[in-house]
């Protein structure tokens, strides 16, 4: 009898992390925009925590709760000024279970 191969997804492991929300003080903000750039749109697909999504007006919004602080959004959009990124205040943000 062979063991079936199980494909491990990021989403399967995210539930193990904990996140302490700093209510009213998100560490990432998307600057107001009429049309999102290609990089801003890319965040809706590449953010591993799925924090970015399009609203009904076609603009990119963020829900920073659950952000893994991986830096993907900083690499894509911070230098262009489309997002404002800061580290969360001490004691807030992601708490990794395994390091």
23 pLDDT band (50/70/90 cuts)?
Answer: confident
Q: Is residue 6 part of a domain?
A: no
Report, as an integer, the average pLDDT of 65-87. Answer: 91
User: Residue 33 in contact with residue 59, Cβ under 8 Å?
Assistant: yes
Residues 6+ apart with CB under 8 A from 97: 16, 17, 18
pTM (predicted TM-score):
0.78
Which pLDDT belongs to residue 41?
96
Which pLDDT belongs to residue 74?
93
- In sequence order, what are the beta bridge partners of 18? 95
Which residues constitute the domain of residue 37?
Answer: 25-88
Per the structure, how many domains does the chain have? 1
Range of lowest pLDDT (1-5, 42-46, 58-62):
1-5
User: Residue 3 in contact with residue 37, Cβ under 8 Å?
Assistant: no
Q: Residue 32 belongs to a domain with what CATH number?
A: 3.30.70.20
Which pLDDT belongs to residue 34?
92
């Amino acid at each position: 009898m062979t063991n079936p191969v199980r494909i491990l997804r990021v989403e399967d492991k995210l539930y193990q992390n904990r996140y302490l929300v700093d209510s009213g003080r998100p560490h990432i903000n998307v600057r107001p925009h009429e049309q999102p750039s290609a990089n801003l749109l890319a965040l809706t697909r590449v953010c591993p925590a799925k924090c970015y999504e399009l609203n009904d007006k076609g603009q990119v919004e963020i829900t920073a709760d659950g952000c893994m602080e991986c830096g993907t959004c900083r690499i894509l959009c911070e230098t262009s000024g489309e997002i404002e990124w800061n580290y969360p205040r001490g004691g807030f943000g992601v708490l990794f279970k395994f390091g």
